[in-house]
Amino acid sequence: MVRSALADEPTFELSTVDIDRPGPHFTLDTLRLLRSQNPESDIILVLGGDSLHDLPGWHRPEEVVAACSEIGVMRRPGDEVDLSRLEEGLPGLRARLHFITAPLLQISSHEIRERAGKGLPFRHYVPRAVYEYIVAQRIYRGI
């Protein structure tokens, strides 16, 4: 599906770094692998605000922060972030954080899967190529 979604987007490149290696897959390991494959590149981890809240509970979170050039965070309206508390547990986090302003879409992956599984319309929730892939492969049927 990702390959289909990116087919007409030359700015993006599909990485199969997690698919091509055995699990478990920790973000830290992925970041380190990407860094070793792209030593001159900035490694930017993009998270939702909910994941930022959960970051202290991740596998070796201090090292995750250190492994990133930046951490981009997309937040939902009303999402409160206690940066002081997060910084206490993860020193250096604040300096790497950049909050991303983007349009908020009221579409969830859960809703797309549910609609596809029930045979309800979902064409305008995903790019055309992704819609066609889901329909052709009969993904999510029976959910």
| CA–CA distances in Å: residue 78 to residues 48, 49, 75, 81 | 13, 11, 8, 10
Residues 56 and 88 placed together within one structural domain of the fold = yes
How far, in Å, CA of 1 to CA of 99, rounded? Answer: 27
Residues 16 and 40 placed together within one structural domain of the fold = yes
Q: Is 73 helix (H, G, I), strand (E, B) or coil?
A: strand
Residues 43 and 74 placed together within one structural domain of the fold = yes
Residues 66 and 100 placed together within one structural domain of the fold = yes
Residues 24 and 80 placed together within one structural domain of the fold = yes
Residues 55 and 6 placed together within one structural domain of the fold = yes
Residues 125 and 91 placed together within one structural domain of the fold = no
Average pLDDT of the chain to the nearest whole number: 91
Residues 79 and 119 placed together within one structural domain of the fold = no
Q: What is the pLDDT of residues 39-60, one digit of tens each?
A: 999 999 999 888 999 999 999 9
Residues 124 and 73 placed together within one structural domain of the fold = no
pLDDT at 37: 93
Residues 89 and 114 placed together within one structural domain of the fold = no
| Enclosing domain of residue 143 | 106-143
Task: Give the bridge partners for 100, in sequence order.
Answer: 74
Residues 40 and 89 placed together within one structural domain of the fold = yes
DSSP 103-143: PPP---HHHHHHHHHTT---GGGS-HHHHHHHHHHTTTTT-
Residues 95 and 60 placed together within one structural domain of the fold = yes
Count of structural domains, the chain: 2
Sign of the CA dihedral with 117 first, then 121, 127, and 132 last: positive
- Walk along the chain (143 residues) and give the pLDDT tens digit of each residue: 899 999 888 998 898 999 999 989 999 999 999 999 999 999 999 998 889 999 999 999 999 999 999 999 988 777 788 999 999 999 999 999 999 887 777 788 889 999 999 999 999 999 999 999 999 999 998 75
